[in-house]
Amino acid sequence: MRLSRNVLAQVKLAIVGGGCGGSAIAARFSRVLGSGQVAVIEPQKEHYYQPGFTLVAGGIMQLESLIREEKDVLPSRVKWIQSSVDEFNPSKNQLKLSNGETVDYDFLVIATGIELRFDMIKGLPAALDTKGVCSIYSPKYAQKTFQEIQSFKGGKALFTFPNTPIKCAGAPQKICYLAEDYWRKHGIRDKVDISYNTTLAKIFGIDVYADALMKIINSRGIKLNTRTNLIAVDPERRVATFELLDEKGKTVEKEYDFLHVGPPCSSVESLRKAAANKDKLVDANGWVDVDPKTLQSKVYKNVFAIGDCTNTPNAKTAAAIASQFRALKKNLSAAINGKPLTAQYDGYASCPLVVSSNKVILAEFGPNGPMETLPINQARPMVISYWMKKYFMPFLYWKLLVKGYWNGPSTIRKILHLGLTK
């Protein structure tokens, strides 16, 4: 029912974003609050299992297996508003939609994810549609990536990691390993000069996994260039320009025959607009400013956030969202019922590092180092970790997480580790 000329809906809980985190919250609280009390604002008709894009690009999975209709992911009790938010107005408990209509709410969860910013690299948007240039970070270009890997006959192959926050920070190197593995198995490895060009000071942030990855880098003849940032692509000359972050003002040009780009990322436009207006909902860069443990807004106590859109210090991964969900569902329920917030997100994230067509390093970590679930050496590339990545994790996502039932691996970890001490 339309409440007035401009108010499209008035709900107990509004959720902006129908991806991983938004769907989980919607499923959970539609069961608690009842039909019609939860609205999800999400413009996209299709819901993707994004962690699978790397495997599509490596020729291991088909894109069709990663897609569900959004209407089938969201529970029937949820009001799905197929639109986008143009403006947040948390002081009035109101959202302005792109069509000018508004949604009023009592509580708000922001789950807008992260925006791919190919436009931040000069020449890249056009270059992505030229031969040899690709990125696993979108459905279209994930498929193109495998086509480029298959058709590549040798030359210079560049892989890049950006100078911004990025979803799944391990993905740009995963596709590097998968491509190298494919070219080796198809007899052209000796014709390929491969380099991984990262803005970071080392291959991975957690030492135990960085050490394992460096063994792979060295054994497979991949050149590692640190503190280098891709800033421009010239597809006519087939040249990529990098700035050297430790040498102010200095750039280098590198010829390429194959270029995979890990794109710069930012918060979505509506949150960047809030930052420009100096709204205290977000920090200066447009990330939702929340308490990193409770996930509650530092200013607006009826506002929470989950996932890549927040300024929590963890890696931006689907596994982090699962652990955030565990804390957020308890704290949001407490807030709705006027009780103190007691649950805390522990900073957990995970990155299954695919290093070949059948092995994975199962990296799990938090702010103080590894937070591993299995009582084994997870820094070792293993087939069992690969099978988990390919089969078990998609099952967890579709059957448990987006349905509001998966709390992350903390319970499994406790059971396994307690069993070892008995």
pLDDT tens digits, 364-394: 999 899 999 988 899 999 999 999 999 999 9
Residue with tokens 């209509």: 101
**What is the DSSP secondary-structure string of 338-368?**
T----------EEEEEE-SSS-EEEEEEETT
Return mean pLDDT, the chain: 94
> What does the alpha-carbon distance between residue 95 and residue 112 come to, in Å, rounded to a whole number?
13
For CATH 3.50.50.60, the residue range(s) in the chain are 7-60+68-114+267-346, 117-265
CA–CA gap between residue 191 and residue 338 (Å, rounded): 65
Q: Which two tokens stand for residue 351?
A: 């990155």
Rounded to two decimals, the pTM is: 0.94
The mean per-residue pLDDT over the stretch 345-372 comes to 95
Provide the Cα torsion 120, 133, 354, 61; round to 10°.
Answer: 110
pLDDT band at 409 (very low <50, low <70, confident <90, very high): confident
Q: Which of 150, 148, 140 is nearest to 258 (CA)?
A: 148
Q: Are 59 and 43 in contact (CB under 8 A)?
A: no
Q: Which of 142, 124, 308 is nearest to 232 (CA)?
A: 124
Interatomic CA distance for residues 59 and 390, integer angstroms: 12
With cut-offs at 50, 70 and 90, classify the pLDDT of residue 115. Answer: very high
Angle at 278 between CA 277 and CA 281, to 5 degrees: 105
**117-265 — its CATH code?**
3.50.50.60
SS3 state of residue 217: helix
What is the helix (H) or strand (E) element at residue 319, kind and residue range? helix 318-336
Helices 318-336 & 20-33, crossing angle to 10 degrees?
30
* Residue 419: pLDDT over 50: no
Active site residues: 168, 351
Q: What is the pLDDT of residue 8?
A: 78
Pairing label, strands 85-89, 94-97: antiparallel
pLDDT of residue 414: 65
Give yes or no for residue 417 having a pLDDT over 80.
Answer: no
pLDDT surpasses 60 at 1 = no
Q: What is the mean pLDDT of residues 288-298?
A: 98
The C-alpha atoms of residue 288 and residue 89 are separated, in whole angstroms, by 13
pLDDT at 161 over 90: yes
Please state the rounded mean pLDDT for residues 71-90.
96
For the cut 90, the answer to whether the pLDDT of residue 225 exceeds it is yes
Please state, in angstroms and as integers, the Cα–Cα distance from residue 177 to each residue in 51, 116, 250, 336, 357, following that order. Answer: 16, 22, 29, 47, 9
CATH 3.90.226.10 fits 7-60+68-114+267-346, yes or no: no
Q: Which of 62, 61, 14 has its CA nearest to residue 39?
A: 14
Concatenate the DSSP letters of all residues of 124-191 into one string.
HHHHTTSTTEE-TTSHHHHHHHHHHHHH--SEEEEEEE-SS--BSTTHHHHHHHHHHHHHHHTT-GGG
